[in-house]
A and B are shown apart, each in its own frame.
Chain A
Amino acid sequence: DQQVKQNSPSLSVQEGRISILNCDYTNSMFDYFLWYKKYPAEGPTFLISISSIKDKNEDGRFTVFLNKSAKHLSLHIVPSQPGDSAVYFCAASGRGSQGNLIFGKGTKLSVKP
């Protein structure tokens, strides 16, 4: 049973517009949430994270929003750039800052020029 779900396998947006990637989770005990970006034939790269006690974290063009009551988080990229085209994975950490991460299946983002 999937604890972290990314229900959209793909998303296509125009360059300069906002990209919104969504993630749902089932375990209310998760402490941290992380987003990773993955290009083909490379390992995932850490992008941004958020603690379960926050509802927003921003880093440049990337903002992550957390809605604990809905068990939902989203990654906003604005403005989107063609170089953002990649697979984005949502991940959750269930044992504080240790232990394994639990990943969603990913969303493939395509940003068209």
Chain B
Amino acid sequence: GAGVSQSPSNKVTEKGKDVELRCDPISGHTALYWYRQSLGQGLEFLIYFQGNSAPDKSGLPSDRFSAERTGGSVSTLTIQRTQQEDSAVYLCASRLPGSSYNEQFFGPGTRLTVL
């Protein structure tokens, strides 16, 4: 597709279970970001991948959160032992190399509900 895609669109899980969220960035976009938006809040940065460089993990809220990017394209965000406070919309974004203003293009998000 032409845009960033994410799957699943919705995920309901029980507290303590692990979840995996997937992001397919726009083809040719070397930078990939994960953010999350909790109810009534702005977007909170989680992790940033740029090409083959080590990812910037400075936004991950705990060691239960991890992410991988395979082959410089698809990324998976994994949350282990989910907690109710992990409930949020998880958004993925990608960016063209050399973009002037750091314009990031977002996917539709995955709504995660932890019961």
Residue positions of A touching B, CB distance < 8 A: 4, 6, 31-32, 34, 36, 41-46, 49-51, 89, 91, 93, 96-106
With a cutoff of 8 Å between Cβ atoms, the chain B residues found around residue A49 in the complex are: 101, 103
Q: Would you call B42 and A100 a contact (CB within 8 A)?
A: no
The answer, among A6, A43, A96, for a CB contact under 8 Å with B4, is A43
Q: Would you call B48 and A97 a contact (CB within 8 A)?
A: no
Classify the interface of chain A: helix, strand, loop or mixed: strand
With a cutoff of 8 Å between Cβ atoms, the chain A residues found around residue B35 in the complex are: 100, 103
Q: How far is the CB of B102 from chain A (nearest CB, A)?
A: 4
Total A-B Cβ pairs within 8 A: 68
25 A-B pairs (CB sep. < 8 Å): A34-B102, A36-B106, A42-B109, A43-B91, A43-B106, A43-B108, A44-B91, A46-B104, A46-B105, A50-B101, A89-B42, A97-B98, A97-B99, A97-B100, A97-B102, A98-B50, A100-B35, A100-B48, A101-B45, A101-B102, A101-B104, A102-B45, A103-B43, A105-B40, A105-B41
Assuming the A-B contacts A100-B59, A104-B42, are A51 and B107 also in contact, with contact meaning beta carbons closer than 8 angstroms in the complex? no
* Alpha-carbon separation in the docked complex, A36 to B109 (Å): 15
